[in-house]
Amino acid sequence: MSETSEQISLIIRSADQTRKASVQLPITFTVEELLQTTQKHWNLPLNSSYAVRLERTGQQLDPINTLEELLLEDNDILEIFPILEAG
């Protein structure tokens, strides 16, 4: 059995559009892994929670789904946005 190495090209963007990156990720990557990687590379506050929205549909993506399960298309834009805590 051979291991698949399929990848997808995506654009990751912050909700305020101050940060943007074109990336290639394995389709087995989960939304949670994408969030953790982005949080680390962009030095986003670790004490904040973030979510991902698919710009094409406006759908908020479930952190447990893989990129393959979401049926993403090459060059889809994924928007990272903070989850605001009501106070």
- What's the CATH number where 45 sits? 3.10.20.90
How far is the C-alpha of 19 from the C-alpha of 16, rounded, in Å? 8
Number of independent structural domains in the chain? 1
Residues 10-55 pLDDT 10s = 999 999 999 999 999 999 999 999 999 999 999 998 888 999 999 9
Q: In 3-state terms, what secondary structure has residue 83?
A: coil
User: What is the extent of the structural domain holding 21?
Assistant: 7-82
DSSP 8-state class, residue 62: P
**Position 52 in a domain:** yes
**Are the beta carbons of 76 and 56 closer than 8 angstroms?**
yes
**Position 1 in a domain:** no
**Position 35 in a domain:** yes
Q: In 3-state terms, what secondary structure has residue 40?
A: helix
Residue of 84, 33, 28 lying closest to 12 (CA atoms): 33
Please tell me the predicted confidence (pLDDT) of residue 63.
97
**Position 2 in a domain:** no
